[in-house]
């Protein structure tokens, strides 16, 4: 498992250069408009995207779905070859912000296995 707080969430998305998700219903949250379709988001936008529930048809249920979309986008970005090759930098910048049950050696072994395979997780 891995557990992060909102500060870590922001740092991780910034470290990854943003994330892209598919949004299936247009809504506004604060100063951000989220149209239908694939949207590229920086950390501030992603935080707004995962927090909104009042402007969504399904309320809190749709908020949970949006949170899942952003988590999947983070994992997909982390699994990309570019991110895996920068994995040490990501880990070093976030190691004080993330709680996990995996050792740093296990995380590095997974990243190296991914690099060696050249395929997607």
Buried b (16+ CB within 10 A) or exposed e, 11-33: bbbebbeebebebeeebebeebe
How does residue 120 score in pLDDT terms, banded at 50, 70 and 90? low
Buried b (16+ CB within 10 A) or exposed e, 70-90: bbebbebbbeeeebbebbeeb
Residue 99 to residue 3: CA distance in whole angstroms: 5
* Mean pLDDT, rounded, for 107-114: 79
Asked if residues 98 and 105 have their Cβ atoms less than 8 Å apart, the reply is no
Instruction: List the structure tokens of 112.
Output: 């190296």
**SS3 state at 41:** strand
Domains, the chain, with CATH or none? 2-117 (3.40.630.190)
pTM: 0.81
Asked if residues 63 and 50 have their Cβ atoms less than 8 Å apart, the reply is yes
The pLDDT tens digits for 30-56 are: 999 999 999 999 999 999 999 999 999
The pLDDT tens digits for 87-106 are: 777 777 777 778 889 988 88
């Amino acid at each position: 498992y891995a557990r992060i707080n909102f500060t870590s969430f922001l740092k991780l998305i910034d470290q990854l250069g943003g994330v892209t998700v598919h949004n299936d219903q247009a809504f506004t949250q604060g100063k951000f408009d989220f149209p239908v379709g694939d949207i590229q988001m920086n950390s501030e936008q992603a935080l707004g995207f995962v927090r909104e529930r009042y402007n969504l048809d399904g309320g809190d249920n749709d908020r949970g779905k949006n949170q899942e979309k952003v988590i999947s986008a983070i994992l997909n970005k982390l699994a990309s070859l570019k991110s895996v090759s920068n994995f040490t930098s990501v880990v070093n910048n976030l190691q004080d912000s993330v709680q996990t049950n995996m050792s740093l050696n296990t995380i590095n072994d997974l990243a190296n296995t991914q690099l060696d395979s050249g395929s997607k997780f």
